[in-house]
Chain A
Amino acid sequence: MTRKEVIYAVLVLAAFAVLAFIPSLPNSAAVLSLVIPITMYTVLATSWALFSGPTHYISLATAAFYGVGAYMMAPALEVMPYWMVLPIAALSGALLAALVGAMTLRLSGVYFVIFTLGLAEMVRQVITWYQNNFAGTRGNYVFVDINDAQIYWQLLALALLVYLVGWLINRSRLGFAIRIIGNDELVARHSGINTARAKILLFMVSGAFAAVVGAVMTPRFVYIEPAMAFNPEVSFLVVIMALLGGVHRLWGPLVGAIPFALTWEVIASNFPAQTVLLMGIAFLLVVYYIPSGVAGIMEKVYFRARQQRREVSHG
């Protein structure tokens, strides 16, 4: 690690340490109901961008992974303690991603998008079919004593983990390979990179995170319905936030998720009947004015400032 990286690592850890104290704020319940969705979408969007950022494959499968994690919590809790469910959820998400990846990552462009959109619906139908014929509806209820603060801490830990994993991937051979694939897949293949393997591995990482997030969120909802667990809106919001923030930086989705959630909050509390309409307009404005994402703007400002400083000092 270079000195710069050490400084970054210390800063990030300090930021997380401060964030971990949010539940001890006065009136923390209200703050938590706002920051839990933000943290959740940050993890989902960042893990989404790990795969979709460098490869340019727009995946709409987040809801499928999230749903699998959410749905397995209730039946799993009947046979094992809570903490064991999380790694199993990660494993299931990764397995599903491997399966889907092996089938579809040879597809490109719009075919992949359409397939992933259908995936959430397909998994939902399979689970419903299984329940209908074998399991009954027992296992839709999650009664565990996990409060919002604990859910928030778990999400925060996941966020830290996703940054760590993202940083490790970026400096690994896999990260290098995936960047080449993103730039030109044909060149990558000719350089001897096993492109299918690299894409599938990264897709699995992304799927595992989404599944764990689904599992972590479940105790909050008490009751799990397929329509909620496999809500396609989750997939779309993740893509929107990641694009708003910018996918070329690990921290891009974070600066997308926060303003998005805050804007939504302002709209939802002032125009409760027109939320979706106004959000659509807000999104149009975003795409129109900041196509390279908030991260892009921040970097532009930063570079310009640095350039000016340089000119001044050299001037």
Chain B
Amino acid sequence: MKTENSTCQTVQPLVPLCLRHAILGMVAGTLALSLTLGSALAQSSDPIRVGAVAPKTGALAGGAAVTFWPNIALWEQEVNADGGLLMEDGTRRPVQIIEYDDRTDPSETIRSVQRLANNDNADFIIAPYGTGLALAAAPIFDRLGYPMINVSAITDQVDTMTSRYDGVFFTLGETTPLAQGIAEQMVELRDAGEVGNRVAMVNVADAFGIELAQAAGVIFEQNGFDVVYNRSYPPTIQDVSPVMSSVIDANPDVFVAFSYPPDTFALTEAAQIQDLQVDAFYTAVATPFPSYRERFGDSINGVFGVGGVNPDSERFIEYEQAHIEVAGQGPDYWASAVTYASLEVLAQAIEGVGAPDRDAVTEYIKNNPFDTVMGEWVFEDQRINNYWTVGQWQDGKFHGIRATGDLEGAVEPIRKEGW
């Protein structure tokens, strides 16, 4: 016991006691003020309260800043510019967004959803961003009885999820069809004599990359492709030029990379610098980002990527303009528009029911078609089955060229002519 006493005595106050109390008092005062302000605001108006939980810090903050948050802001503005959502009694109620940062930590995602439901009395909660964070939150959405329209949750376990959770929906697609899309596209192009038979595959060694690479590899081999190179690289890779050198040494006709944002940029850059000459070049996530076009300009004409949109549709052009106005940046050509579409579904369902009644909204989503920026959406078994799997940069726009169902606006792939 003596030791503890001595450690205490070594602590000398460096700041006068009164100053310390003043600082603590200020901190406590600020906290108390913000608490009262928060509750006062909540009572003064009658908006529909919509919670949003996604990373603002942590590993996924960058992705959320492109795909998630701008669409929330845009949706809030568009809905409220019309006066709000039309209720059964003919009145309009604006939407009020309550935002939380989950710091890319699933515990915090769960906690924030709880907080939104219990403390903030949110009428609805937008599905979190990122596969892991969204799936972790699904049980709590289910228990609290909130419908959950997922976008950035790509999984092969959609069947298990939808059979366990009644109000959980999926919109962006499943892992295997996304990989099959590009593999089947290459089979078609080869059979038409457009591309050669030698394929080089690389993938980021993370759940997403591994799952896609395996699904695609099976199809390439079944169709008699010669897989001349197949390697993974770590997600934290700094220098991809050795990878690109090995790819070039293998002399492929087709290059397929199941990559994440940083390496999508790095691989494309390395391919240009080291002059990889292939008939088809594919990179995955972030290929449809406007920043990809800004970085590489016209040289990416003919580059294939994951996902896609119909950039010539009236709805998309309108959406793109509004997005630029609100966010100061364009939407990406895949998940951004789907995120916005998921919010349109929520708005149309609430108006269809005519009240912020969560159970009725869930039922409405299951049984009605929706008119969205992605075209008409009908949920079958709580999921959208028509989605873009492969797109291609053509004259500065990223066009969907292949989809799981019949989607309007699919274009023919063009041939890639050098860099």
A contact set with B: CB distance below 8 Å: 27, 29-30, 33-34, 36-37, 125, 128-129, 131-133, 136-137, 140-141, 143, 217, 220-228, 231, 233, 248, 266, 268-273, 275-276, 285, 288-289, 291-292, 296, 299-300, 303
Contacts and interface: CB of A to CB of B under 8 A. Distances in A.
Contact of B232 (A132, A226, A303): A132
Given A141-B157, A225-B207, A226-B206, A128 B234 contact: yes
Instruction: Determine the main DSSP class of A at the interface with B.
Output: helix
A231 B132 CA distance: 13
Contacts of A225: 131-132, 206-207
Contact of B108 (A30, A132, A268, A285): A268
A178 to B, nearest CB: 15
A133 B210 CA distance: 9
B135 A269 contact: no
Nearest to A30: B118
B136 A270 contact: no
B139 interface: yes
Contacts of A30: 114-115, 117-119
Contacts of B38: 270
A296 B57 contact: no
Interface string B199-239: 00001011100110010000000000000000010110000
B34 A271 contact: yes
Closest 7 CB pairs of A and B: A223-B135, A33-B114, A30-B118, A221-B136, A225-B132, A137-B211, A272-B100
Contact of A233 (B105, B114, B144): B105
Interface string B105-118: 11110111011011
B20 interface: yes
Interface stretch (B1-9, B185-193, B337-345): B1-9
Interface in B94-137: 99-101, 103-108, 110-112, 114-115, 117-119, 131-132, 135-136
Contacts of A129: 205
Most A CB within 10 A of own CB, among B100, B117, B132? B132
A220 B35 contact: no
B295 interface: no
B157 A272 contact: no
B132 A269 contact: no
A272 B98 CA distance: 9
A233 B119 CA distance: 26
15 contacts: A27-B118, A29-B140, A33-B110, A128-B206, A137-B210, A222-B136, A223-B135, A223-B155, A233-B105, A248-B3, A266-B31, A268-B115, A270-B34, A273-B101, A292-B7
Contacts of B155: 223
Contact of A223 (B34, B114, B132): B132
A217 to B, nearest CB: 8
Nearest to B113: A33
Contact of A143 (B107, B164, B235): B164
Nearest to A237: B105
Contacts of B160: 141, 143
Contact of B8 (A37, A125, A288, A292): A292
B11 A292 contact: yes
B244 interface: no
B103 A275 contact: yes
B133 to A, nearest CB: 8
Contact of A131 (B99, B107, B110, B210): B210
Interface in B21-80: 23, 31, 34-35, 38, 56-57, 59
Contacts of B3: 248
Given A270-B31, A273-B56, A275-B57, A300 B8 contact: yes
